Amino acid sequence: MELTLGFSPCPNDTFIFDALIHHKIDTKGLTFRVEYYDVETLNDKAFNNELDITKLSYHAFAYAVDKYELLDAGSALGFGVGPLLITKGENLATKLKQYPEKDLPAALQDLRVGIPGRYTTANFLLGLAFPTLQSKQELVFSDIEQALLDNEIDLGLIIHENRFTYQDKGLFKVVDLGDFWEKKTQQPIPLGGIVIKRDLPAEIKLLVNQLIRESVEYAFANPKSGLEYIRSHAQEMEETVMYKHIALYVNKYSIHLGKDGRSAVNILFDKALELGLIPKFDTNIFLT
């Protein structure tokens, strides 16, 4: 049986799925047709029910729970892994640091913010921390730093490997939104998860979850096994940066969400519902 599988070309995803898609583990007769996209495109494809299995933002998942269930394996959660809000000017960074969860002065409310997608968890966290920032421009995540340098935006919301490169480009951190979340909730931040179509047979869904878990475990046991594959999708990233990226986003929650991971996901949805940032739903979100 062939299933379509969508994930990003970022090192954390290619690290997770290398053993699965290259049959380094026994896939029990399943094969996977991989499609690579940035996170917001993956979100859109989930909304349209296009892929059998896909990575998506936890924020976006709230809009796709009628079509997909969340797997226990493959998620990106953790402490110290959140998105960063950055800017080109140190003075602006210093000024904004005093305002999380407060109304911004009128002079700051119209700052142009580059975001990696409306439905990203990063944008949800931005709305939680700076609810009055409204002038948002959706960009591919890898273009946000350059847009700041070119003065096309005033603030940039960065994810993935950009958190390792922004300082080298003379940019300044306003706030670490993951740290903001952790202090507010004492929970790991749920960034992205792996979901599977609800209408697939139950035994297939359980098998896919098992195989993704085995793929992650294989990657941890053989961390250099997928190096060439990971590098081929890593946008000329240095190997040390690739593995920093992987270490940041692939951890025990990627093997199995567990009680703590599930609790963090539920709290994120509760907070988003309180703020009216996601629609209400009464569907069980976890694979059963």
Task: Give me the active site residues, please.
Answer: 160
DSSP string, 152-191: S-SEEEE-GGGGGTTGGGT-EEEEEHHHHHHHHHSS-EEE
**Neighbour-count burial of 215, counting CB atoms closer than 10 A to its CB (0-12 exposed, 13-18 middle, 19+ buried):** buried
Q: Is 122 annotated as a binding residue?
A: yes
Q: Is 135 annotated as a binding residue?
A: no
Q: Is 57 annotated as a binding residue?
A: yes
Q: Is 56 annotated as a binding residue?
A: yes
**Neighbour-count burial of 132, counting CB atoms closer than 10 A to its CB (0-12 exposed, 13-18 middle, 19+ buried):** middle
Q: Is 5 annotated as a binding residue?
A: no
**Residues belonging to the chain:** 288
Helix 11-21, helix 239-249: angle, nearest 10:
80
How many Cβ atoms sit within 10 Å of the Cβ of residue 40?
A: 22
CA atoms within 13 A on the CB side of 189: 26
> What is the spatial distance between Cα 100 and Cα 128, in angstroms, rounded to a whole number?
8
Residue list for the binding site for substrate: 55-57, 121-122
Residue list for the binding site: 55-57, 121-122
